Amino acid sequence: MSENKIVLTDDMLELLDDSEKNSEFIAIQSKTFLRDTWDRFKRNKLALFGLIFLIIMVLGAIFVPMISPFGYEEQNMMLRNALPSLQHPFGTDKLGRDILVRVMYGARISLAIGFSTAAINLFIGIVYGGVAGYVGGKLDMVMMRIIDIIYAVPSLLYVVLILMVFGNSVKSMMIAICLTSWIQMARQVRTQVMALKEMEFALAAKVLGASNMRILMKHLIINALGPIIVCLTMMVPSAIFTESFLSFVGIGLDPTIPSWGKLANDCRPLLFTDPIQIIWPIGAICLTILSLNFLGDGLGEALEAKR
Amino acid sequence: MFKYIVKRLLIGCLTLFILATITFFGTKAMPGNPFAQDNRGLSPEAYAALEKKYGLDKPVSEQYVIYLKNALHGDFGESITKKGQMVADIIVKRAPVTAKLGTVAFVVAVSVGLTLGVVSALTKKRWVNNAITTFATLGVSIPGFLFAMIIMYIFGVKLKLLPVMELLTWKHYIMPALALSLSPISMITRLTRSSLKDVMNKDYITLARSKGTKELMVIIKHGLKNAMLPVVTYCGPMFAGLVTGSVVIEKLFTIPGIGAEFTNSIINRDYTLVMGLTLLFGAIVIVMNIVSDIAAALIDPRIKLEK
């Protein structure tokens, strides 16, 4: 071997041509996960529309009742069932109340209910579904049977029960909606966790001596975040839907609270005389739910591509 | 197979029992009592007599035992607020109305949903696909009751084409059935579309085509049959939901069905009627879940029922 040793001399080496110096250069900026998702998300025009509409809605819900000269309960008997005008962009209702302010006040309630129930569901769903999926076996069986039983009870019954026992405030509405909708999240988390815990990285974490809690939270849940987020965005519209539906039937929130369902119900008798009034609450509900669905689809696509 | 059905039915009975327990104590926990509406001037003696008549003077646990005993003998008691009417009779009278409407809506949903799904999965024309997907997205975003109000306004009030109340002739069925089936149609369309698109790329489809099978046969026998699984699992619970009635639709179109009866019974604290209806709904949901699981296993033999 040693006889074959090649000695490098200067004439064997030559300087690299300038044009070849940058062959390792990476032309695009390296992206973080969030940035990457956002770029993909941006390409989906409908999802972007949904996001923008929701931002406008949230801002409107916060600021319109604050800066408007009219209160949501302020009546003006001189101006009943007025058509849209500069002073009242959406017109006024049968008691002369400004509809824009009422719809935006309703947005506060609906959005608050939608987002907070989704947040509570996220928490319960991750804990319940995570434990059931991770531990598995007998415990999983029992936990799933419990879910089956809760699922078999007509959801209307709970909601009405809760509203009757705790009074028909926004808070009890949230509890009532959560009681019926966390199941979906728990099932989703469980399926994901069950699939992911069989993967090599979970085994690796186990071999390295990570605690069960750490594996579940840091490795499994994080990797299931895509489907969880999609499930979450689908929960917000369903909560908004449930609230408006209950208030519409008349067993929902306190009748003095102008939630969207209540506004739509108020307009029902006016269907024959002043149909224009009903456009606003219906439009608000439909567009918000539509935007959230677009957003969910867009996020789903953007996050899914990562796999 | 037979063993499986028996096992599922036994678990179902257990579920029903737990459901009955929760509902029983839940309804008793609601503030208020069934005699509240007609007790203007009800003397304490009369009140006590009424309570005694319906067995409400006994401790709740004792009432529970009595109720279960009677229910096992097929006696669901007498409605408290509807004088002299047995719960079973009310169900027999009201349920067929809802079931008929629900079945019509189900047939509409499945046939329209499947057709749209198949067309949008197979069409080469971009605009057809776009139109159907847009419709499906709108369909899941517009709450049924708002859609019902919109079509009521257009066809009932403006054009005066369709009757807006009750269920007398086939014409009366059009609007409520449409309103009920809007969201199932959209769901079925979406499910059929995505699953059929998957299936049509499989090797056995190419094989069937290369053997010279007619395209229609390829789609129906090889494509649809294998793509039906997600649709079937969705249809079971959906059918249960439709035949147990949509409260709002029944309220909006003044249909004397079981859904409207259910809300009224809760509001009126008609304990026996609430119990009877809850058990009925629970049983329907449980049976439909079993049916859809069995149907799924029949369609796709890879799914094992024993698990």
Cβ neighbourhood burial of A18 (10 Å; 0-12, 13-18, 19+): exposed
Query: What average pLDDT is seen over chain A?
Result: 82
Rounded Cα–Cα distance for residues B261 and B274 (Å): 9
For residue A273, pLDDT beyond 80: no
**This model's pTM is above 0.80:** no
Contact between A285 and B266 using a beta-carbon 8 Å cutoff: no
Which tokens belong to A88? 């009242």
Query: The domain B1-307 belongs to what CATH superfamily?
Result: MetI-like (1.10.3720.10)
Q: Given a cut of 90, is residue A56 above it in pLDDT?
A: yes
Residue A160: closest CA among B32, B218, B160: B32
Q: A271 vs B263: CB contact, 8 Å cut-off?
A: no
Q: How far apart are CA A217 and CA A130, in angstroms?
A: 9
Please, what is the end-to-end C-alpha distance for chain B in angstroms?
12
For residue A128, name the pLDDT band (cuts at 50, 70, 90). Answer: very high
A267 to chain B: closest CA residue: B149
Greater confidence, A52 or A35? A52
List CB contacts (< 8 A) between B281 and chain A: 154
Q: Are B180 and B173 in contact (CB under 8 A)?
A: no
Q: Do A149 and B18 touch (CB under 8 A)?
A: yes
B137–A286 C-beta distance less than 8 A: no
Among residues B88, B110, B28, the alpha carbon closest in space to that of B62 is found at: B28
Average pLDDT over residues A12-36: 76
Chain B residues with beta carbon closer than 8 angstroms to that of A251: 263, 266-267
The confidence score (pLDDT) of residue B41 equals: 61
* Domains, chain A, with CATH or none: 41-61+99-306 (1.10.3720.10)
Q: Considering only CB atoms, which chain A residues are within 8 Å of B285?
A: 151-152, 154
Instruction: Say what the pLDDT of residue A307 is.
Output: 44
Query: Kind and range of the H or E element at A136?
Result: none
Question: How many Å apart are CA A245 and CA A240, to the nearest integer?
Answer: 8
pLDDT at position A22 over 90: no
One digit per residue, the tens of pLDDT, for chain B of length 307 reads 788 888 888 888 888 888 888 888 888 877 777 776 555 566 777 777 777 777 777 778 888 888 888 888 877 877 877 777 888 888 888 888 888 888 999 999 999 999 999 999 888 888 998 899 888 888 888 888 888 888 888 887 777 777 777 777 777 888 888 888 998 999 899 889 888 888 888 888 889 889 888 888 888 888 888 888 888 888 888 888 888 767 788 888 888 888 888 878 877 778 888 888 888 888 888 888 888 888 888 887 776 665 4
- Three-class SS string for B108-167? HHHHHHHHHHHHHHHCCCHHHHHHHHHHHHHHHHCCHHHHHHHHHHHHHHHCCCCCCCCC
Summarize the confidence of residues A227-252 as an average pLDDT: 82
Predicted confidence (pLDDT) per residue in A181-199, tens digit:
888 889 888 888 888 888 8
* Contact across the interface for B15 and A249, Cβ inside 8 Å: no
| Residues in CB range of B88: below 8 A, 6 or more apart | B74, B75, B76, B276
Q: Give residue B117's pLDDT.
A: 92
Answer whether A226's CB lies under 8 Å from A303's CB. yes
Residues paired with residue B78 on neighbouring β-strands, in sequence order: B86
Greatest alpha-carbon span in chain B: 85
Q: Which of B7, B15, B141 to mutate against chain A (most A CBs within 10 Å)?
A: B141
> How much is the pLDDT for B263?
79
Task: Report CA-CA distances (Å) from B33 to A253, B42, B56, B178, B271.
Answer: 21, 13, 10, 38, 9
